[in-house]
Amino acid sequence: MSWDFETDAAFEAQLQWMREFVREEIEPLDVLWPDDVYRQPQREEVNLLLRPLKEQVRARGLWAAHLGPNLGGQGYGQLKLALMNEILGRSQWAPRVFGTQAPDTGNAEILAHYGTPEQKAKYLVPLLEGDIVSCYSMTEPQGGSDPGGFLTRAVKDGEEWVITGWKFFSSHARWAEFLIVMAVTDPNSMPYRGMSMFLVPRGSPGLDIVRNIGLSGEAEGDGAHGLVHYNEVRVPAANLLGEEGEGFAVAQTRLGGGRVHHAMRSVGICQRAFDMMCERALSRTTKGSLLADKQYVQGYIADSWIELEQFRLLVLRTAWKIDRYQDYQRVREDIAAIKAAAPKLINDIVGRAIQVHGALGISNELDLGRLFLMQYAVGFSDGPSEVHKATVARRVLKRYSPAPGLWPTQHLPTRRAEARELVKERLAGSPGQQ
């Protein structure tokens, strides 16, 4: 039996370089342009700053590390990617500098698996280079992310597919060069075998981005997510990604590892808030002593450290199991568990950090308010936490059986009676009783 909690020296050196690089070179961009991350391809001045940073990442062999070597990545397993994403989670800009920003990472994997050579040349290559952004268009206004409630349809018409329907919160729709949209192609086979995935180029006739949706606090119409109307949008038959009716399976290409990445970036968010909380506790005096001397604050710090370490180890074990078994289905409850636990971790640790900072914690002079809201983005992304909790419960319960009789198997009177019979039989068969 082999257990090892150490990172090999060569990769640890890479991680240490990442920590310093993100802190010194990338986090200043978060301060100057906190709302411009997704506008980057349209901002030449920002591109001028990002290009040399990306080149440094490439020179270290860390660009788009989630991809295989044939696509310019390192083919890292989920454990190494988890350790990297812990660092990237501290910064809004870091994923873009490292070529791991959502939803482009998942869309790149879909294109890599299912795109035609022409589609890869036109969209995948510039996407991997960071020259364009893409959109994943699945959620709908009336049904959220529940496939059983999807109404967007795609109908075959000769050598084309005609897509009609509405999509809500389609990430990066306003800037995307292409959208990957999920549509119902066989209503009779819904919810999981009646959907298909399509590539829709920017500017396709009938593709209407009705309005842009932002997060709370952003100006109206200035968000990165779109309400999209597909008004009889026609795409070539070759733009079907994967097999007809296998859209849910195609979607899983981008979700399993992505959920691990989200969870480990949540560790990065919480570690940053925890660092701020500890610094504040050692800096601020009230009622004649440091906050660090107050038992309530000590409780905040102790609870936060314990919860963060527990969650981090659970995520790393999940990543290790994925690498070991190479089967996302076998680790499904682990993935669901970390996805469901991440929002609560952010709520608890960032919330305590805000409390320790007082009024400053909710002001726009610190970033804690934005970090606190991230719990909802993490909770909604890739399926709501409630769904993942149900997945955990169902899969765990499969390992159990109902009690065989009237009483629970641990019913003490029943167990005493059984124990007495066992002792009686053993005494009867012992040499001294012959």
CB 199 within 8 A of CB 241: yes
CB 137 within 8 A of CB 178: no
b/e 163-177 (16+ beta carbons within 10 angstroms → b): bbbbbbbbbbbbbbb
Q: How far apart are CA 106 and CA 129, in angstroms?
A: 15
Q: Which amino acid is at 201?
A: P
**Residue 147: predicted pLDDT:** 79
- Describe the chain by its helix, strand, coil percentages, rounded to 5: 55, 15, 30
Rounded to 5°, angle at Cα 367 from 31 and 79: 90
Q: How far apart are CA 364 and CA 254, in angstroms?
A: 34
Taken as a whole, the chain contains a residue count of: 434
DSSP letter, residue 219: P
Task: Render pLDDT for 117-173 as a digit per residue (tens, 0 to 9).
Answer: 999 999 998 988 878 889 999 999 987 878 788 999 999 999 999 999 999 989 889
Q: How far apart are CA 77 and CA 7, in angstroms?
A: 13
Query: Largest alpha-carbon pair distance within the chain?
Result: 96
User: Which of helix, strand or coil describes residue 399?
Assistant: coil
| CB-based contacts of 177, cutoff 8 Å, min separation 6 | 123, 126, 127, 132, 133, 134, 201, 202
**Residue 261: predicted pLDDT:** 87
pLDDT tens across the length of the chain (434 residues)? 567 888 999 999 999 999 999 999 999 999 988 766 655 555 677 778 889 999 999 999 999 888 777 776 788 889 999 999 999 999 999 998 998 888 888 898 899 889 999 999 999 989 888 788 899 999 999 878 787 889 999 999 999 999 999 999 898 898 899 999 999 999 888 777 899 999 999 999 999 999 988 766 666 666 778 899 999 999 999 999 999 998 888 887 666 677 888 899 999 999 999 999 999 999 999 999 999 999 999 999 999 999 999 999 999 999 999 999 988 889 999 999 999 999 999 999 999 999 999 999 999 999 999 999 999 889 887 778 898 999 999 999 999 999 999 999 999 999 999 999 999 999 987 776 65
DSSP 156-209: EETTEEEEEEEEEEEETTTT-SEEEEEEES-GGGTTTSSEEEEEEETT-TTEEE
Instruction: Enumerate domains of the chain plus CATH numbers.
Output: 9-101 (1.10.540.10), 134-245 (2.40.110.10), 249-397 (1.20.140.10)
CB 18 within 8 A of CB 7: no
Distance from chain centroid for Cα 271: 17
How far does the chain reach from its first CA to its final CA, in angstroms?
Answer: 45
- HSE-CB at 3 with a 13 A cutoff on CA atoms is 4
**Residue 341: predicted pLDDT:** 96
**Residue 37: predicted pLDDT:** 67
DSSP 39-102: GGGG-HHHHHHHHHHHHHHHHTT-TTTTS-GGGTS----HHHHHHHHHHHTT-SSHHHHTT--T
Task: Render pLDDT for 200-257 as a digit per residue (tens, 0 to 9).
Answer: 999 999 999 999 887 666 666 667 788 999 999 999 999 999 999 988 888 876 666 7
**Residue 171: predicted pLDDT:** 86
**Residue 192: predicted pLDDT:** 72
Q: Which amino acid is at 307?
A: E
Q: Which residue has the tokens 């060569």?
A: 10
pTM over 0.85: yes
CB 183 within 8 A of CB 165: yes
